Amino acid sequence: MKSTRLFTVLAAGFALAACDGGDINIEPTTSVNNSNNTVNNGGGDTPSDMCASYVKNGQTIQGTADANGNCTYGSAFVGPKNNLTVDLLIPALPDGGAHIFTSSLFVGETYRTQADLQAAGITEGGDGPTLTIEAGATLAFQTNKDFIIINRGSRILADGRADAPITFTSVSDLNGTVDPESVQQWGGMVINGFGVSNKCSYDGTRGQAGFQLTPGTECSIEAEGSAGDDESQYGGDNDADDSGILRYVVVKHTGAEVGNGDELNGISFGGVGSSTVVENLEVYSTYDDGIEMFGGSVNFTNVVALYVRDDSIDIDEGYNGTITNALVIQPENDGNQCIESDGIGSYSAANVALNADFIARGLNSRPTINNLTCIFSANEGGTHGSGAGWRFREGIWPVINDSLLISSFGANDQSNGTDNFCLRIDDDETNAAATNGDLQLNSVIFACQENQVDTEQATAEGMGAQFATVADGTAVDASTAANPELQLLEGDQKIYSVSWATSMVDSAAPAATTEPTQGNILGAIEATNDWTAGWTYGIHPDNRGQALWFE
């Protein structure tokens, strides 16, 4: 068994970068003229000129300014049955002003069939309208039935900065009437693209010449929240599709049940392609999943999932993108799995031949995750289940590198081995992938209340992963000061990883198959390069409603 002395204790005391709490000012800009619309960038001489507007069919449609410096947009501006069909720019407002939507914001039309898409000339991102949001802008939604859809062919360009992030939240958050961990204040975001989903039928092997949708078949999968006026679809055969940019974006207080009964995620990515840019993204305090990928190949860099009540990262339907640098922190008394992941969207253990065919043609989920830190609670019976680590099932082939999975230790029953587990591997195809090297855990440290559900610990150790245990094989509490020889995280907020170069990994442990380059780290963040500083909400003392529960 492993020694508790996995890492030396390093001195803490790193200065945290301060958030820019100042007002956001923008310079007047010129309007953008398109063949079918005119976009007002704001910056006029009166408050109303700051509100977003567009011209459609010769009529100017604009938000209304109020005495508090906010702009309000009703269903006549955009909403169900009134999707945005022209380009629109939403400017940053001065003095903390927000854009308040009293209805949903749906960008682009939805098309149920391939024929309808072809007739409309919608084949990829950029064919439809583009929603552009300036750095520093805040968009707030009034009711828990409201949400955002970016339809196939449309794009969102939300390109913030560390000193001017873009925020999507609720009016109740603006009014200060929510607690830090309040959820379901509004729906959330749904982004749909033309990427691959294994719920559709394809000819050929994914990523190779000749791969395409099977002629004569449809690939228009109902997205989350899709019903009636809220309808939207995703799916196709273009893994390089472009749905836009999410850079320095914070999405807060989501997960409400919308019209069709779905409890939305922070952001649902349906068939979103690899040309989409997602960098520095936070989902904060959401009722359902944090981010969920239904197929597609979108890549993520620098992701925070804070206070998610269901699965912080959810993977399904053949997603094969890369997630680099991700920090997951569950609520103290809630939260389900850090990662829940499925390989095949319509999996059945009885369909042995079909499952094998999907895997042989690269249609199962094959994510790569680099530098992930998961901190999950020891709750039992939370909103969606007990706090837990990573669950891989239904033929998924994940590759996880240089990562930490740490559990808080609670006074719960540790006898059944099914609550607060580090690792769970389900189904024949997934276990075969672990044996054959298609499921990889490279340079991974586990420190959890329950190491495994079945025999996952031995499987993971065979790959080079390490579990913090003592001589009798029981787990070691990594979250208290009782074990000063085991320190995996440091700093005032206990989120910074200890450098691999200065660690002392037990020489008796299996060698990791791919150790980090000297100076690199296990986990998401190092103190000398804190990519969360200045723009995230809820982590650092200068921009949060409460301290992290394990500080």
Closest CA to 477 of 406, 403, 380: 406
Q: What is the mean pLDDT of the chain?
A: 87
Of 199-208, 231-240, 394-403, 496-505, the one with minimum mean pLDDT is 496-505
- Model confidence at 389: pLDDT above 70: yes
Half-sphere exposure of 100 (CA within 13 A, CB side): 18
Interior angle at CA 220, CA 218 and CA 225, nearest 5? 155
* pLDDT score of 39: 46
Arithmetic mean of pLDDT, 507-523 = 58
Of 8-22, 88-102, 271-285, 325-339, the one with minimum mean pLDDT is 8-22
Strands 466-467 and 440-447: parallel
- Pair 423, 460: CB distance under 8 Å: yes
Backbone angles phi, psi at 159, to 5 degrees: -110, 85
Q: What is the pLDDT of residues 224-270, one digit of tens each?
A: 988 888 999 999 999 999 999 999 999 999 999 987 778 999 999 99
Arithmetic mean of pLDDT, 101-128 = 96
Q: Is 539 exposed, middle or buried (0-12, 13-18, 19+ CB in 10 A)?
A: buried
Per-residue HEC secondary structure of 494-511 comes to CCEECEHHHCCCCCCCCC
Please tell me which residue, 3 or 400, carries the higher pLDDT value.
400
- Model confidence at 17: pLDDT above 50: no
CA distance 89 to 85: 13
* pLDDT score of 24: 26
Q: What is the pLDDT of residues 117-162, one digit of tens each?
A: 999 999 999 999 999 999 999 999 999 999 999 999 999 999 999 9
Residue 475's pLDDT band (cuts 50, 70, 90): confident
* pLDDT score of 380: 87
Phi-psi region of 261 (alpha: psi -120 to 50; beta: other; left: phi over 0): left
Residue 468's pLDDT band (cuts 50, 70, 90): confident
Q: What is the pLDDT of residues 394-426, one digit of tens each?
A: 999 999 999 999 987 775 555 555 788 999 999
Per-residue HEC secondary structure of 219-240 comes to CCEECCCCCHHHCCEECCCCCC
Half-sphere exposure of 29 (CA within 13 A, CB side): 17
Sequential DSSP letters for 299-316: EEEEEEEEEESS-SEEEE
Inter-helix orientation angle 428-436/352-360, to 10°: 40
